[in-house]
């Protein structure tokens, strides 16, 4: 018997994928066909992965029709396309997200159930594509979701790393890295396009020549060539027909074997070449922020940027477009400076390969690019040794010198006699060893430069890019980050989503400003009761997962105090640890001390070469070992390090949080996006005035946010006046006792060496000013405790956080980019 879909949630559910049989029966049939014809299994012999793959293909079928219709639209000459260039896209699992966006979640869940399958088990089977490190890569993924949802024609361009971010295991308290073999069991979400390939050159030399019109030209005679092959992943918007493309490039050898070498008998030499080429897209560099001087990393950057720009030029020419109008068809956004070499590459493509003159080519280039900066950390500003750069890209080096020559002329014109300024602004750092400054190249070659939170943009203008701001203030603008409420609320927190939708309808999912309508229920005791019930349910789910992954039992009725993010000294996970030890000390001093029961949960990866970050992980686990087993504590405090924090695990973590730790040193965190994910799920924030915390506090209200600590200005002036961490240490006995606990070896079986690098760094340098903020942090934590003890008050605050977080939807951010930077309009896609 054919069962029709009962509830059509929106017009978008109708006739998905061009099927006329939008029935449970149709879905079931397609699913069975994929088990049989795609996976080659009888249902009885199908493995869990076969079943997952078959379901993924069933869902992908539903995307394809929209995808083709969208791509047809992209092929219209009068349409402007956003190209988001990013070395990282941290997408997370596709299956559940696509079901939600299609409006098919319930139907597919039921179909699976009728087939005797638990859909959660199939979700669990999916390997997430971890093609990013953290904030920057995840932001790119949120933006792809919003671009499609807002019906903006867009392409994401990036790298198809064979190994994404490593899997983290915790062994004896230490991080151990394992390669991420995400493609091992196949990837049903990508479509290989072996016919879309480009050649990318490296090394060699350049040579001047005269073209037919007698004009001076330069050609590049490369040393070696690699082939880029396109792999496309569909990115569907929420309840719309727009299905954009994420095009990732894989490196291959131009020929499988270097035939010449092969023929003279050098078999291994020939294979070497192939291996060398394929190396380029082998592995994601696992550093969150600074990566300096690695040739392969620079090759990766150029490789994907060159493929992407060649692809855009090809598409544009196919449409009969005139390259002098390229910027009216493409708006290219540089996600940090990783793709900034694109400025020189587009110039090369226009001038060398397409015969354009320099001036018009430069105008096209500047009008095409926009640049987003994502970090204020000086050590994270990319620069490449000139020798390395010129060796790999001799032609680009010349182009950059020419850009620089013209640019510095302008600087001298504007600021006559100010040679210091000229040296500061040059694209080449000549203060010691010579470097190419990628942020300067990006600023000069773009028409728009933005930071990712108001404070961050202000600090860019005042400090990091001050000279550029003074010379071209019109380029600078702010675009505060946002996150997608589809993945981070609807998918992650179905309980809360149902509760909200029950009160205000479901339009909030695409218009989260409407969450404000929840405010009027804040005094409704029954609603508050429900709100707490949902949170408790989420905490129980996380508690189960914690038990499975770590063996630690935690109490869901305790306060879940969570800090998940990359491990970095500026993010100050160790400040959180100091607070835990302080509470522990109070209990040890007086076992009857009335501590508010708390579960401290940490998660996040450390860059494999980051010594201090890895020690902080060890410290957290060592403190956990002691605290969790101390009979005086008696279970009132628990400390957990949740291993392998990633997008898949995040789903269970954000919704379970009571308290969100956003405690970076002011002026260091460009924006933060985890702060938004927590608050949207009803966690309250304890935080500094850093990044987007400032704006979150403004939105949710100061009374619903636990603020503490130095401001960015305080940090700067303290530094200027010679910060002495020892002074704070000497004047605070509680702090002394905390440090003493660590350095005595109490958490390390008497080993006083283990944590001495951490302790010494705090006492004698304390670059991130933990000691200066310790007292204020303890006070704010005291206020948290008080508030939490009054559950009615806490719930009220939690509801108001959710109700007022609408601003931080990535839809709002993308609307701003579209209007102010890209000048693009929605293009609705129809299916017929």
Residues near ligand 6GP (CB under 6 A):
134-136, 139, 288-289, 336, 374-375, 380, 452, 481, 669-673, 691
Task: List the helix and strand counts (H, then E) for the chain.
Answer: 32, 24
In the chain, what is the greatest distance between 2 CA atoms, to the nearest angstrom?
91
Q: Give me the residues paired with residue 253 across strands.
A: 226
CB of 677 vs ligand 6GP, minimal distance in Å: 11
Our answer to whether residue 566 is catalytic in this structure is yes
CB of 373 vs ligand 6GP, minimal distance in Å: 8
Contacts of 91 (CB under 8 A, 6+ apart): 128, 129, 131, 141, 144, 233, 246, 647
The whole-angstrom separation of Cα 232 and Cα 160 is: 10
Q: Which is nearer to ligand 6GP, 111 or 673 (CB)?
A: 673
Among residues 539, 566, 598, 804, the one annotated as catalytic is 566
465 neighbors 472 (Cβ within 8 angstroms): no
Among residues 250, 374, 636, 638, the one annotated as catalytic is 374
Among residues 94, 250, 571, 638, the one annotated as catalytic is 571
CB of 67 vs ligand 6GP, minimal distance in Å: 28
CA 495, 501, 504, 509 torsion-angle sign: positive
CB of 692 vs ligand 6GP, minimal distance in Å: 7
The single-letter DSSP state of residue 507 is G
CB of 57 vs ligand 6GP, minimal distance in Å: 33
540: left (phi over 0), alpha (psi -120 to 50) or beta: alpha
Count of CB atoms situated within 10 Å of the CB of 739: 21
Q: Give me the residues paired with residue 224 across strands.
A: 202
CB of 133 vs ligand 6GP, minimal distance in Å: 6
- Half-sphere exposure at residue 158, Cβ-oriented, CA atoms within 13 angstroms: 29
The whole-angstrom separation of Cα 19 and Cα 58 is: 12
Q: Which is nearer to ligand 6GP, 394 or 482 (CB)?
A: 482
Q: Which is nearer to ligand 6GP, 125 or 446 (CB)?
A: 446
Our answer to whether residue 677 is catalytic in this structure is yes
The whole-angstrom separation of Cα 630 and Cα 632 is: 5
CA 483, 488, 491, 496 torsion-angle sign: negative
Our answer to whether residue 673 is catalytic in this structure is yes
Among residues 94, 677, 741, 804, the one annotated as catalytic is 677
- Half-sphere exposure at residue 173, Cβ-oriented, CA atoms within 13 angstroms: 16
How wide is the angle at C-alpha 616 spanned by C-alphas 610 and 620, nearest 5°? 150
Q: Which is nearer to ligand 6GP, 130 or 153 (CB)?
A: 130
Q: Which is nearer to ligand 6GP, 262 or 570 (CB)?
A: 570
Q: What is the 3-state secondary structure (H, E, C) of 636-687?
A: CEEEEEECCCCHHHHHHHHHHCCEEEECCCCCCCCCCCHHHHHHHCCCEEEE
CB of 9 vs ligand 6GP, minimal distance in Å: 31
Q: Which is nearer to ligand 6GP, 210 or 379 (CB)?
A: 379
User: How far does Cα 477 stand from its chain's mean position?
Assistant: 21
CB of 678 vs ligand 6GP, minimal distance in Å: 13
Q: Which is nearer to ligand 6GP, 159 or 496 (CB)?
A: 159
Q: Which is nearer to ligand 6GP, 55 or 334 (CB)?
A: 334
Take residue 124 and report the two structure tokens written for it. Answer: 């669990």
Q: Which is nearer to ligand 6GP, 379 or 753 (CB)?
A: 379
User: How far does Cα 767 stand from its chain's mean position?
Assistant: 26
Residues in the chain: 832
Q: Which is nearer to ligand 6GP, 139 or 627 (CB)?
A: 139
CB of 375 vs ligand 6GP, minimal distance in Å: 4
Q: Which is nearer to ligand 6GP, 573 or 795 (CB)?
A: 573
Q: Which is nearer to ligand 6GP, 79 or 291 (CB)?
A: 291
Q: Give me the residues paired with residue 251 across strands.
A: 228
The single-letter DSSP state of residue 747 is T
CA distances from 327 to 96, 370, 540 (A): 36, 11, 52
Phi, psi angle pair for 756, to nearest 5°: -65, -30
Take residue 439 and report the two structure tokens written for it. Answer: 């942020």
CB of 84 vs ligand 6GP, minimal distance in Å: 13
CB of 724 vs ligand 6GP, minimal distance in Å: 28
428 neighbors 436 (Cβ within 8 angstroms): yes
Chain position carrying tokens 């699976």: 112
Our answer to whether residue 250 is catalytic in this structure is no
CB of 437 vs ligand 6GP, minimal distance in Å: 14
Contacts of 284 (CB under 8 A, 6+ apart): 88, 130, 131, 132, 133, 159, 161, 163, 164, 165
User: In 3-state terms, what secondary structure has residue 766?
Assistant: coil
How wide is the angle at C-alpha 391 spanned by C-alphas 389 and 395, nearest 5°? 80
In this structure, are strands 81-85 and 154-159 parallel, antiparallel, or unpaired? parallel
Our answer to whether residue 823 is catalytic in this structure is no
Tell me which residue has its CB nearest to ligand 6GP.
135
Chain position carrying tokens 């789910």: 541
CB of 674 vs ligand 6GP, minimal distance in Å: 8
Q: Which is nearer to ligand 6GP, 658 or 669 (CB)?
A: 669
Among residues 673, 685, 688, 795, the one annotated as catalytic is 673
Q: Cα torsion at 318, 321, 324, 325 (round to 10°)?
A: -120
Helix (H) or strand (E) holding 171: strand 167-171
Take residue 64 and report the two structure tokens written for it. Answer: 């394809």
Among residues 250, 461, 535, 565, the one annotated as catalytic is 565
Nearest to 394 by CA among 256, 224, 250, 618: 224
**Residues with catalytic function:** 374, 565-566, 571, 673, 677
């Amino acid at each position: 018997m054919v069962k029709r879909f009962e509830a059509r949630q929106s017009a978008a559910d109708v006739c998905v994928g061009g099927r006329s049989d939008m029935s449970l029966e149709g879905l079931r049939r397609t699913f069975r066909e994929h088990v049989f014809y795609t996976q080659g299994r009888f249902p009885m012999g199908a493995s869990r992965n076969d079943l997952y793959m078959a379901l993924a293909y069933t869902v992908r079928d539903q995307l394809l029709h929209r995808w083709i219709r969208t791509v047809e639209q992209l092929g219209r000459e009068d349409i402007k396309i956003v190209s988001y260039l990013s070395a990282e896209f941290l997408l997370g699992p596709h299956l559940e997200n696509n079901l939600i966006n299609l409006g098919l979640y319930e139907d597919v869940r039921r179909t699976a159930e009728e087939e005797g399958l638990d859909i959660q088990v199939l979700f669990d089977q999916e390997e997430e594509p971890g093609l990013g490190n953290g904030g920057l890569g995840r932001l790119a993924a949120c933006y792809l979701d919003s671009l499609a949802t807002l019906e903006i024609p867009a392409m994401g361009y990036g790298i198809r790393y064979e190994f994404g971010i490593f899997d983290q295991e915790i062994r004896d308290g230490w991080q151990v890295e394992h390669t991420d073999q995400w493609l091992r069991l196949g990837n049903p979400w990508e479509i290989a396009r072996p016919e879309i390939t480009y050649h990318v050159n490296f090394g060699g030399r350049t040579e001047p020549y005269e073209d037919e019109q007698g004009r001076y030209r330069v050609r590049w005679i490369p040393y070696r060539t690699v082939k880029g092959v396109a792999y496309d992943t569909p990115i569907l918007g929420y309840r719309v027909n727009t299905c954009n493309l994420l095009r990732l490039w894989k490196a291959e050898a131009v020929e499988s074997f270097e035939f010449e070498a092969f023929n003279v008998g050098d078999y291994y030499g020939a294979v070497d070449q192939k291996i060398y080429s394929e190396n380029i897209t082998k592995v994601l560099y696992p550093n969150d922020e600074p990566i300096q001087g690695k040739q392969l990393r620079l090759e990766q950057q150029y490789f994907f940027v060159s493929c992407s720009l060649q692809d855009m030029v090809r598409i544009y020419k196919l449409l009969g477009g005139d390259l002098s109008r390229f910027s009216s068809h493409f708006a290219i956004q540089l996600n940090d400076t990783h793709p900034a070499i694109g400025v020189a590459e587009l110039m090369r493509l226009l001038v060398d390969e397409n015969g354009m003159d320099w001036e018009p080519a430069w105008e096209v280039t500047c009008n095409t690019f926009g640049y987003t900066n994502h970090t204020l950390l000086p050590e994270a500003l990319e620069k490449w040794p000139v020798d390395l750069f010129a060796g790999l890209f001799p032609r680009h080096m010349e182009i950059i010198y020419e850009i620089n020559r013209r640019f510095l002329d302008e600087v001298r014109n504007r600021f006559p006699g100010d040679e210091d300024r000229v040296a500061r602004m040059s694209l080449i750092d000549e203060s010691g060893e010579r470097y190419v400054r990628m942020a300067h190249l990006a600023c000069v070659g773009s028409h728009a430069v933005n930071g990712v939170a108001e404070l961050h943009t202000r600090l860019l203008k005042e400090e990091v890019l001050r000279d550029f701001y003074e010379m071209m203030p019109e380029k600078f603008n702010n675009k505060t980050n946002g996150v997608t409420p589809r993945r981070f609320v609807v998918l992650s927190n179905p309980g809360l989503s149902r509760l909200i939708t029950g009160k205000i309808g479901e339009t909030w999912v695409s218009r989260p400003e409407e969450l404000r309508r929840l405010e009027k229920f804040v005094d409704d005791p029954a609603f508050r009761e429900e709100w707490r019930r949902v949170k408790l349910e989420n905490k129980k789910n996380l508690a189960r997962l914690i038990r499975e992954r770590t063996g630690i039992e935690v109490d869901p009725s305790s306060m879940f105090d969570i800090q998940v993010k990359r491990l970095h000294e500026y993010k100050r996970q160790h400040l959180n640890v100091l607070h835990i030890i302080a509470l522990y000390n109070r209990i040890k001093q007086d076992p009857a001390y009335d501590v508010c029961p708390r579960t401290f949960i940490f998660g996040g990866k450390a860059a494999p070469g980051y010594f201090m970050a890895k020690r902080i992980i060890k410290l957290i686990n060592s403190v956990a070992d002691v605290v969790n087993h101390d009979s005086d504590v008696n279970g009132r405090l628990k400390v957990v390090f949740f291993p392998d924090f990633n997008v898949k695990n995040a789903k269970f973590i954000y919704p379970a949080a009571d308290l969100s730790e956003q405690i970076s040193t002011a002026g260091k965190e460009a924006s933060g996006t985890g702060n938004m994910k927590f608050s949207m799920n009803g966690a309250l924030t304890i935080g500094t005035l850093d990044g987007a915390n400032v704006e979150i506090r403004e939105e949710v209200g100061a009374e619903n946010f636990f603020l503490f600590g130095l401001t960015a200005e305080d940090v700067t002036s303290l530094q200027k006046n010679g910060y002495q961490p020892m002074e704070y240490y000497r004047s605070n006995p509680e702090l002394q006792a905390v440090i003493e606990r660590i350095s005595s070896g109490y958490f390390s079986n008497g080993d006083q060496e283990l944590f001495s690098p951490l302790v010494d760094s705090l006492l004698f340098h304390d670059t991130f000013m933990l000691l200066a903020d310790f007292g204020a942090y303890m006070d704010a934590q005291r206020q948290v405790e008080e508030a939490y003890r009054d559950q009615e008050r806490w719930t009220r605050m939690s509801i108001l956080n959710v109700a007022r977080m609408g601003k931080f939807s990535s839809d709002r951010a993308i609307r701003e980019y579209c209007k102010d930077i890209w000048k693009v309009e929605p293009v609705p896609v129809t299916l017929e």
